[in-house]
Amino acid sequence: MAEAKPGRLGIGVVGAGKVGAVLGAALRAAGHAVVGVSAVSAASRERAAVLLPGVPVLPVPEVVERAELVLLAVPDDALPDLVSGLAGTGAWQPGQLVVHTSGRHGTGVLAPARAKGAIPLAIHPAMTFTGMSLDLARLPDCSFGVTADRAVLPIAQALVVEMGAEPVVVEERDRPLYHAALAHASNHLVTIAAQAAQLLGAAGIERPDRLLGPLMRASLENALASGEAALTGPVARGDAGTVRVHRDALLGFEVGGGATDIRQAYEELARATAKRALARGLLKDETATTILDVLSPHRTPPAAQEDMQ
């Protein structure tokens, strides 16, 4: 990667959400000047005041007009209309760097800005944000998915390095798959933790986090270090009876007024686990078939069978 470092830039932050305010603060700490920020909600204005003190809060067109580098930190679905709308008003300037933080999009979404002479870059932080200053300390452990034309790719990479993070090049065509992988790993982990905590609460456990914390952290570390070789639990062991008991207990929880999504999630993930364990040779065909039969959506649990008699 090129060692060249962009000069001091006037940066405009469009969107003082959890990501935009933090990255704006990181670029400011790297020596760039944040010349304006857009913030609509009260939470965004407060975040801008804390993380970007002294930076004027301005309407979006004025932020763009002032900036040599425009950082677009808005929701994925809002990005296309924002970029094209600004192009329609003549806001984009030749030679201006336009950087978005969306994981789903590459630089194609910035085509209206490119048509006006702007230079499009995509840098997506593979990290969850709180929108507080502690996020700045996490950036050195973070990677960014970077997409840009080869001629300007070193600029995008250098911006990431300046924030203390590691740039990872993602091709334009691969952005949706890249983002799906990260969303699956991060967002669904939160859902699983919440579902497990709810079940533990129903089982009378007062502090579910004390049980789940060490277990989930160790599982994640083992999975990252050893991949599917780290797989353990009743499915990997071929304990179809235990899986059956789990499924029936979750059905009882559901019938008793508990959340209706947990059993479905357990079944789908257990089926996926069984299939992957079979493919890796961790389960024999017969054992995997038995487990998948137990997890079949067409199987009627014993409790339901009794109700029908």
DSSP for the chain reads: ---------EEEEE--SHHHHHHHHHHHHTT-EEEEEE--SHHHHHHHHHHSTTPPB--HHHHHHH-SEEEE---GGGHHHHHHHHHHTT---TT-EEEE--SS--SGGGHHHHTTT-EEEEEEE-S---SSTHHHHHGGG-EEEEE--TTTHHHHHHHHHHTT-EEEE--GGGHHHHHHHHHHHHHHHHHHHHHHHHHHHHTT-S-HHHHHHHHHHHHHHHHHHHGGGG--SHHHHT-HHHHHHHHHHHHHHHHTT--SHHHHHHHHHHHHHHHHHHHTTSS-HHHHHHHHHHT-TTPPPHHHHHHH-
Distance CA 23, CA 28 (A): 8
Instruction: Identify the CA nearest to 141 among candidates 166, 161, 162.
Output: 166
Q: Given this model, what pLDDT does residue 72 score?
A: 98
> What is the CA angle 297-300-302, rounded to 5?
140
Distance CA 192, CA 162 (A): 35
Q: Name the token pair of 1.
A: 């990667």
Q: Does residue 287 register a pLDDT over 90?
A: yes
Q: Name the token pair of 192.
A: 């699983």
Once rounded to an integer, what is the mean pLDDT over residues 117-144? 95
Task: Report the percent of the chain where pLDDT is more than 70.
Answer: 94
Q: Are 144 and 6 in contact (CB under 8 A)?
A: no
Residues 6 or more apart whose Cβ sits within 8 Å of residue 26: 136, 139, 162, 163, 164
Q: Given this model, what pLDDT does residue 149 score?
A: 97
Q: Given this model, what pLDDT does residue 5 score?
A: 46
Indicate the pLDDT class of residue 155, thresholds 50, 70 and 90. Answer: very high
More confident call, 260 vs 309: 260
Indicate left, alpha or beta for 238 from its phi (over 0: left) and psi (-120 to 50: alpha): left
Phi, psi (5° rounding) for residue 14?
-100, 105
Residue corresponding to tokens 């999975």: 223
Once rounded to an integer, what is the mean pLDDT over residues 295-306? 62
More confident call, 86 vs 3: 86
Task: Report the percent of the chain where pLDDT is more than 90.
Answer: 93
Once rounded to an integer, what is the mean pLDDT over residues 220-239? 94
Distance CA 64, CA 44 (A): 18
Q: Given this model, what pLDDT does residue 306 score?
A: 47
Indicate the pLDDT class of residue 180, thresholds 50, 70 and 90. Answer: very high
Q: Given this model, what pLDDT does residue 305 score?
A: 45
Distance CA 277, CA 282 (A): 5
Mean of per-residue pLDDT scores for the chain: 93
Q: Given this model, what pLDDT does residue 260 score?
A: 92
Q: Given this model, what pLDDT does residue 300 score?
A: 58
> Which residues are paired to 71 by β-bridges?
13, 99
Q: Does residue 299 register a pLDDT over 90?
A: no
Q: Does residue 2 register a pLDDT over 60?
A: no
Whole-angstrom CA distances from 266 to 85, 90, 180, 198, 295 are 44, 51, 20, 13, 9
What pLDDT, in 10s, does the model give residues 66-122? 999 999 999 999 999 999 999 999 999 999 999 999 999 999 999 999 999 999 999
Q: Given this model, what pLDDT does residue 297 score?
A: 77
Report the predicted TM-score, pTM, of the whole model to 2 decimal places. Answer: 0.88
Indicate the pLDDT class of residue 48, thresholds 50, 70 and 90. Answer: very high
Q: Are 72 and 101 in contact (CB under 8 A)?
A: yes
What pLDDT, in 10s, does the model give residues 205-217? 999 999 999 999 9
